[in-house]
Amino acid sequence: MEYKNFPMVPRVVFGRGSFNQLGEIIEPKRTNKNSPFIFIVDDVFKGNSWLVDRIPLKNNDKIIYVSAHEEPKTKYVDQFRDDIEAEFKEIPSGIIGIGGGTMLDYAKAIALMLTNPGSSADYQGWDLIKYPAVYHVGIPTLSGTGAEVSRTTVLTGPEKKLGMNSDYTPFDQVILDPELTKDVPDNQWFYTGMDCYIHCIESLTGTYLNAFSQSYGEKSLDLCREVFLEKEDRDKDSQDKIMMASWHGGMSIAYSQVGVAHAMSYGLGYLLGTKHGIGNCIVFNQLEEFYPQGVKEFKQMVKKHQIDIPKGICKDLNDEQFNIMIDVALGLVPLWENALGKDWQKTITREKLRSLFELM
Ligand code: NAD
Ligand code: ZN
């Protein structure tokens, strides 16, 4: 048995208003005055002076506003990298992602692709990255994905939806300022919060479970329950707690794996562009037979928060389209193995997946 030697984020700040420390944190990392910091910022913040005016721009530093409408694609990552290289003579001092999982993944991917030649599509997989990334910082404004701690950046490429998993992927610095999440729309707060809840259920019920993952997963699950089942308001305490739940959920899966919901949600994402949080909810809603307790509790949360989980998104698909989703899902072998053990192929047939997708 060989155990994973897992890299962790070496520096993290936590606290309301800690975003104000960004300037003093990054300035010592400036390599020279021509080498900019590039801020990858969710375009939902464009014109939002409360946030944008606090971004510590100096010299030729630049904000690039990016839409989170679509999940990151390899071709966009390559394009951002090419544009940055064309505009600046020097390699940037750092890349700072400000937003939800989409911006965090863009920041990680661009930082990696500034030092690794070729297309990001060449690096979708495990440990294909050869050179350390440019210094990169993650600042979540939406809690749940765990992208702030993870060793991957999930990308949709020409052939697959798969992350660039590597020791160079994790952020060098994370700033956890729960206040930044205060204006997230309620539905999105729920969907991405449920991503975290589902990480916990898939990790804690999986065959890969171990004390390391369990210790983080249980804490995260407790926090999710407090926020989504016990509390009446989305108050400051909830913002703090779900931000830490996301962190712990990410730490939990780092040393185990996700499961059925994620495998199938990747299929929806690849074919239909369904975003991760809502896609996980659509799938998880139909997974009683795999996660009876988790799905029961999930439904209580949906009810309490009066969330609509879309139904019927697969109703007009043809055989070819179902097959694409099934191929993507079946390709995620470690997820199935974690969920159901080494013999997973006995229960998970193409017909089985088709019948589940048809319910969605
Ligand atoms: P997101 O980043 O896609 O954002 C969802 C929506 O919320 C967007 O419309 C965005 O503009 C909005 N938003 C974000 N912060 C806001 C704020 N403070 N106020 C108002 N609106 C705000 O959502 P997400 O669920 O955080 O991230 C999903 C992405 O994360 C997917 O691309 C998925 O693949 C990725 N992901 C990565 C990992 C990883 O380990 N790298 C893990 C899970 C998911
Ligand atoms: Zn997830």
**Of 181, 213, 232, the domain-final residue:** 181
Distance 189 CA to ligand 1 centre (A): 10
Task: Give the DSSP letter string of 50-82.
Answer: HHHTTS---TT-EEEEE--SS--BHHHHHHHHH
Question: Has residue 317 been placed in a domain?
Answer: yes
Segment 261-270 shows an average pLDDT of 96
Is 147 touching ligand 1 by the criterion CB < 6 Å?
Answer: yes
Distance 103 CA to ligand 1 centre (A): 7
**Of 127, 151, 181, the domain-final residue:** 181
Q: Give the chain's length.
A: 360
pLDDT of residue 214: 98
Question: Has residue 334 been placed in a domain?
Answer: yes
Sheet of 173-176, strand order: 11-14, 173-176, 136-140, 94-99, 37-42, 62-66
Structurally, the chain folds into a number of domains equal to: 2
Is 101 touching ligand 1 by the criterion CB < 6 Å?
Answer: yes
CATH number at residue 273: 1.20.1090.10
Pair (30, 174) in one structural domain: yes
State pLDDT tens for residues 101-114.
Answer: 999 999 999 999 99
Question: Has residue 314 been placed in a domain?
Answer: yes
State pLDDT tens for residues 68-120.
Answer: 999 999 999 999 999 999 999 999 999 999 999 999 999 999 999 999 999 99
Pair (164, 204) in one structural domain: no
Using pLDDT thresholds of 50, 70 and 90, give the confidence band for residue 159: confident
Pair (206, 344) in one structural domain: yes
Note down the domain range covering 103: 11-181
Contacts of 23 (CB under 8 A, 6+ apart): 56
Using pLDDT thresholds of 50, 70 and 90, give the confidence band for residue 161: confident
Question: Has residue 2 been placed in a domain?
Answer: no
Residue nearest to atom 40 of ligand 1 (CA): 147
Q: Which ligand is nearest to the CA of 141?
A: 1
Pair (293, 234) in one structural domain: yes
Is 183 touching ligand 1 by the criterion CB < 6 Å?
Answer: yes
Question: Has residue 303 been placed in a domain?
Answer: yes
Pair (110, 136) in one structural domain: yes
Which 3 state secondary structure label does DSSP give 159? coil
* Residue ranges in the chain assigned as alpha helix (H): 22-26, 49-52, 74-87, 101-113, 186-204, 211-225, 236-254, 260-272, 276-284, 292-304, 319-330, 333-340, 344-347, 350-359
64, two tokens: 């690039």
Q: Using DSSP bridges, classify how beta strands 154-156 and 161-165 pair: parallel, antiparallel or unpaired.
A: antiparallel
CB 194 within 8 A of CB 298: yes
**Of 153, 181, 209, the domain-final residue:** 181
Question: Has residue 252 been placed in a domain?
Answer: yes
Residue nearest to atom 4 of ligand 1 (CA): 100
